[in-house]
Amino acid sequence: MPVREAAPAKVNLFLHVLGRRAEDGYHRLDSLAVFAAAADTLEAAPAAPDGAGLRLALDGPEAAALAGEDPERNLALRAARALAREAGIAAPAAALRLTKALPVASGIGGGSADAAAALRALDRLWGLGWARTPRLAAVAARLGADVPACLAARPVRMGGIGEVLAPAPPLPARLGLVLANPRLPLATPAVFAARTGAFSAPAVLPETGWREAAALARDLAALRNDLEPAAIALCPPVAEVLAALRALPGCLLARMSGSGATCFALMPDAAAAAAAVARLPSAWWRWGGGLYAAAG
Ligand code: C5P
């Protein structure tokens, strides 16, 4: 029986760059990440006897952007190989099918979410029982700074270079997100390299969290995405996306996610977010709804 895992979009409600590690140039971050119900889907099936080994097929509305890519370089397949190595599986076999609904290289963790979903799916398919254990989180951390947060797929405070996770303060029960991307890819290393200016201090968040979306938006307004100016310098349409999101009825806050170019609008609830999407240019990738709720 194939197993199926969602790879939901990661949205950084704020992202402060605290400094840079001398040893590898990675940036130390403080971020509050949530996951939207917009998601890629990763399906893993036992490989047919004639097709031994690990295989990856791509489909879905956003798969065309990966058409020229060597599947061996895809992070989902690299995750599968890393997991097999860690589990001591000498001849791993699985047929993976990745249905891309999220734009690639867009600051919402798409590739990292796909890798995390591959780890969750193969943990089940291969019967490892490593879900929610440090062992699986360690494999995730070696694949990329964002992969552990995507493996958690629930609201988290990200520290370290993104791989140190702490629970997020309680979020409002009703919360909506609009996501918009101008269909221009941004390479994460280029955005970090273009960042200028002083480093930020960590954010101070209320431990009791927020009961209302408006209260969350008020606190977030005092914080930033420190990569936003660099992303706008490299990709000026990001500023247009932010302006269009700010003009949506009900928008409480608009900000870029991750290293861009996807931006989000925080909305009072999922219905308001879904209703507002049609007002954005149809040439953009756009989505509106609520937060991802993991099964189980
Ligand atoms: O870990 P990942 O492969 O996702 O990171 C991609 C690139 O983004 C890194 O090579 C680095 O240039 C940059 N990065 C960074 N600091 C982070 C995360 C990523 O400088 N905390």
Q: Using the mean position of ligand 1's atoms as its centre, give its distance from the Cα of residue 27 in Å.
A: 7
CATH fold of the domain at 176-289: Alpha-Beta Plaits (3.30.70)
Residues of the chain with CATH 3.30.70.890: 176-289
CATH 3.30.230.10 in the chain, residues? 3-167
Q: CA–CA separation, 133 vs 115, rounded Å?
A: 16
Contact 60 CB / ligand 1 (< 6 Å):
no
Is the pLDDT at 296 greater than 60? The verdict is no
The two three-digit tokens of residue 108, written as one number: 């919402």
- Summarize pLDDT for 28-73 with one digit per residue, the tens: 999 999 999 999 999 999 987 666 699 999 999 999 999 888 888 9
Active site residue 40: no
- Max distance between CA atoms of the chain, in angstroms, equals 58
What confidence tier does 195 reach under pLDDT thresholds 50, 70, 90?
very high
Going by C-beta distance under 8 Å and a sequence separation of 6 or more, which residues neighbour residue 287?
Answer: 9, 36, 38, 178, 179, 180, 277
CATH architecture of the region 3-167: 2-Layer Sandwich (3.30)
Q: Look at residue 187 and tell me whether its pLDDT is greater than 80.
A: yes
Q: Which structure tokens are listed for 9? A: 């979009």
- State the distance from the centre of ligand 1 to the C-alpha of 24, rounded, in angstroms: 10
Q: Which two tokens stand for residue 151?
A: 């493996």
Ligand 1 atom nearest 28 alpha carbon: 21
Does residue 245 register a pLDDT over 80? yes
